[in-house]
Structure 1
Amino acid sequence: MDRQQRLWEWERTAEPYLLLASLLFLTSYAVRVLVPGLSPGWHTFWATVTAVTWGVFIVEYLSRLLLSDDRRRFVRTRWLDLVVTVLPLLRPLRIVDMHERMQRRRDHPRLALEARVMTYAGLTSALLGFAASLAVYHDERADPHTTIRTFGDAVWWAASTLTTTGYGDATPVTTRGRVTAVALMFVGVALVGAVVGSFSSWLLRRFRQDGEG
């Protein structure tokens, strides 16, 4: 078996475990941010879950890098994998994609192209918005000048940012919060554009079919 084949086999075997690790990472981070007054024991437990799952992402990426027959090309073409390994709160960008590939391999019925794009982009937007809400709430809540005082404020901010509405009533004031906001702005434009574009394409196709019928 050549190196490329071993890489494919490794990726196929690792996908369900990566999906589980991604969900565990997001859950552990959410618990630590949203549950006030965690006991030292539970705080240590969830912090350990966060660290272990992050370690899984790093080990898995390095394993694929070592199995690749052209490592420079691997880093260049799999740049998103590197980004979500270094910044695991961006894992939602990969969670839905991993689930989609697993469904295809099991020969589950597939939706039409437009529906798949809308589903993929919509779920990714929701998960990424949730992760960004957690990150911003974690960074902003202790700042005396913040306008994001509750997790509800953070969710409202994430929704208005993802949809490029930007009411301005809730805005990050810390450096880390603003970096998160900039990242969400760029990703939000792409994801929402994909949903709107796919929906428009679906409508045009249906109207064309109705007109031809």
Structure 2
Amino acid sequence: MTEEQWRRLSEWPMAIAAGAFLAAYAWWVLAQPVNGAARVAEAVMVVTWVAFAGDFVVRLALAKRRGRWLLRHLHELAMVVLPMLRPLRLLRLVTLLGVVHRSVGTALRGRVIVYASGSTALLLIVSSLAMLDAERTAPNATITTYPDALWWSAVTVTTVGYGDFAPVTATGRLIAAALMIAGIALLGVVTATLASWLVERVGEQDEASQAATRAQVTALTAEVVALRNELLRAREDDPAGSRV
């Protein structure tokens, strides 16, 4: 089995694991369970962590060039090893968008729209949860509720940055830096997609105008040829008149 075959085979299980982690992590952050409920949430997060770690090891073992593969997937290694980055494993839920992607056809613009919108929604949810988890117990923290965290994520990912809320912990600032980079990338994707759509529409109008012009030229040419033929026939029928 190749690494690509394993990736396709594990696509749905890993997406389901990411969904389970999202539910457990959101419950952990928002409800702050205690006693048995807390142990259940911790168990789900540990099991999903083991699943992602195992998937990473298997894909590394199946890779043809392991060193090169590892260099290209250092972000996945960081998400498995570093606790502060583990919530980013929820981005594996983007694989679920493959079903929607197949339903929108093979057009590149359709793929970009689906993945950009889905990734943005997940990024806002994940970054808000991670930021609230990192900030709410810190001294002088301004992000202490989920609505505040969600608002901060929205203004940060769009690169607006009102400054009404700001992280004060190292983990929160790391999340903020990653979100700002993602926001710049998102704006670039949206701008490029819009520009591509506009260029296509202008091209379609130009093509329609050119087609109409070609049709008119063709019709005019046919009329000129018909008139020329009529003149030739008239000369042939009346040789005397043609010499006048």
Q: Does 1:155 align with 2:155?
A: no
Q: Does 1:173 align with 2:171?
A: no
Q: Does 1:71 align with 2:69?
A: no
Aligned equivalent of 1:16, options 12, 16, 33: 12
Question: Matches of 2:104 and 2:119 in 1, distance apart?
Answer: 20
Determine if contact 1:141/1:150 at 8 Å carries over to the other structure: yes
Residues 109, 115 of structure 1: alpha-carbon distance in 2 compared, 3 angstrom cutoff: closer
Determine if contact 1:162/1:189 at 8 Å carries over to the other structure: yes
- CA RMSD between the two structures: 2.0
Residue segments in structure 1 that go unaligned for 5+ positions in a row: none
Determine if contact 2:100/2:114 at 8 Å carries over to the other structure: no
Residue segments in structure 2 that go unaligned for 5+ positions in a row: 209-244
1:111 deviation in Å? 5.2
Determine if contact 2:159/2:180 at 8 Å carries over to the other structure: yes
1:109 deviation in Å? 4.9
Q: Does 1:135 align with 2:133?
A: no
Q: Per-residue CA shift, 1:21-77, capped at 9, x if unaligned?
A: 1111111111100114x2411111011101110110001110111122221121123
Q: For residue 92 of structure 2, what is the aligned residue in structure 1? A: 94
Residues 149, 88 of structure 1: alpha-carbon distance in 2 compared, 3 angstrom cutoff: closer
Q: For residue 25 of structure 2, what is the aligned residue in structure 1? A: 29
What letter matches 2:23 in structure 1? T
Question: Percent identity, aligned pairs only?
Answer: 38
TM-score (normalised: structure 2): 0.76
Higher relative contact order (CA 8 A, sep 6+): 1
Residues 12, 205 of structure 1: alpha-carbon distance in 2 compared, 3 angstrom cutoff: same
Q: Which secondary structure state, in structure 2, belongs to the residue aligned with residue 91 of structure 1?
A: helix
Residues 83, 114 of structure 1: alpha-carbon distance in 2 compared, 3 angstrom cutoff: farther
Q: How many residues align?
A: 205
Question: Matches of 2:193 and 2:79 in 1, distance apart?
Answer: 25
Determine if contact 2:104/2:110 at 8 Å carries over to the other structure: no
